[in-house]
Structures are given as structure tokens and as C-alpha cells.
Structure 1
Amino acid sequence: MRKSDVQKGKGKIKETVGKATGNERMEAEGKADRAEGKTHEAGEKVQRVAEKARDAMRRRAS
């Protein structure tokens, strides 16, 4: 499981609990955690694409 998925899941839980209990701070923390998870996910995607491009270049060179 990727770190981004864990972060987004944790954020969703915090956000839901915050809404259910009326705790605006927890709800805001949950939204922030979800945003952080999405940022991590974007970084992971960039890394995968870069690795694929690197591998393609190595195959062409050999």
C-alpha cells in the first residue's frame, strides 16, 4: 500500500469524524491530510513516469 493511499484514508476518516461530531478542527485536519495524500500521489506518479522514461532510454542505448 502506498503512503499516499494511507494518508488519504486517514484524512477521510478524520474529516468524517469531524463532521459527525461537529469538530471543525478535526474536519479541517482531515481535509489537509487528504490534500497531502493527493500531493504524495502526484509525486509518486511523476517518479513512476520518470523511471519508465529512464528504462526506455537505457533499452534504446543498448
Structure 2
Amino acid sequence: FGGQNGSGKTTLFNAIQICLHGRSAFEETLSRREYEERMQALLHESGGQKAEEASIRLEFEYTDFG
């Protein structure tokens, strides 16, 4: 992956890690409440307005041609 600084490369990989591992994606053990607070802190902020919700979805498609 390539792109300019701030284009979202690390954010993409962090999102994949969270999607696959949930609370375990973070270095320390988090309670459900701590996990929700951490996720809330990661939401995008633009122009002083913070997003109220977000979602992470990871979908794999496997095709076997043989």
C-alpha cells in the first residue's frame, strides 16, 4: 500500500486488526466499557464535529475454479 501521509494507510490496517481481533487488537486487556471508550476516541473529527458512529466490515470472497 502506498499513499501520502495522512491518507489513511495506517487507519485501514488498524481497522482490519480491530475487525479480526476486537478487544484483543489493543496491546492491553480492555473491559467492554474501556473498549467502547477507546473506539469512541478513534472516531473521525472534522471541523470541530466528531462522528457519532462508525462501522468496520471486513468481507472475504473465495472462488475455486478447479
TM-score normalised by the chain length of structure 1: 0.32
Name the structure with the higher strand share: 2
Larger RCO of the pair (alpha carbons < 8 Å, separation 6+): 1
Look at both structures and tell me which one has the larger radius of gyration over its CA atoms: 1
TM-score normalised by the chain length of structure 2: 0.31
